[in-house]
Each structure stands twice: as structure tokens, then as C-alpha cells.
Amino acid sequence: MRKFIILPAIAAMTFSLAACQSEQAANVEEAAENRADVLEDMADQTTNEAQADALENQADAVEDAGENMADAIDNGSVVANSM
């Protein structure tokens, strides 16, 4: 019974937090995620393990940078039009 209460509460909080993000920030974050997906696909296709690891690390860095930039846009630290 407790799971039936906790899971919907978590989902509601997640959706309410997502609604706080501006459209510009969401676009920046989505673009970074798309780029990270491309890098991960490239990592999956390579047979060189070192290169695959490097691509995976780069994908993680791109995704983190996108999240940080989106947060900065929402916090007013960065003007989206100046990017």
C-alpha cells in the first residue's frame, strides 16, 4: 500500500519540477541529450574499447553540460539569446 502512495507522489513532484523549466532551457537540454545520444551510438558501433570509453565519457560530459546550461538559463545566470 505504501508503494502506491509514494510512487504517485514522486511522479507528481517530477512533473511539477519539469514544468518549472523554461522552453529555452528545455531546448538546450534536449539538444545536449540528442548530441549525447549520437556519441553513445558511435561508442556502440566502434570495436576499439578505448575509443568507446572516450566517446561514452564525452557523451556524459555533453549531457552534464547541457543540464548545467539549462539550469543556468532557468536561474537567470545565462541569457539564452547570447549563446
Is the pLDDT score of 14 beyond 50? no
Query: Is 15 a member of any domain?
Result: no
Query: Is 13 a member of any domain?
Result: no
C-alpha cell at 63: 549531457
- Distance of alpha carbon 72 from alpha carbon 44, whole angstroms: 31
Number of domains composing the chain: 1
Statement: the pTM of the whole predicted model exceeds 0.95? no
Q: Which domain holds residue 49?
A: 22-82
Query: Is 3 a member of any domain?
Result: no
- Distance of alpha carbon 35 from alpha carbon 10, whole angstroms: 28
Query: Is 29 a member of any domain?
Result: yes
Indicate the residue type of 19.
Answer: A
Query: Is 43 a member of any domain?
Result: yes
pLDDT tens sequence across 34-50: 999 999 999 999 999 99
Q: For residue 21, what pLDDT is reported?
A: 76
Query: Is 47 a member of any domain?
Result: yes
Query: Is 12 a member of any domain?
Result: no
pLDDT tens sequence across 63-73: 999 999 999 99
Is the pLDDT score of 4 beyond 60? no
Cα 2 to the center of its chain, rounded Å: 30
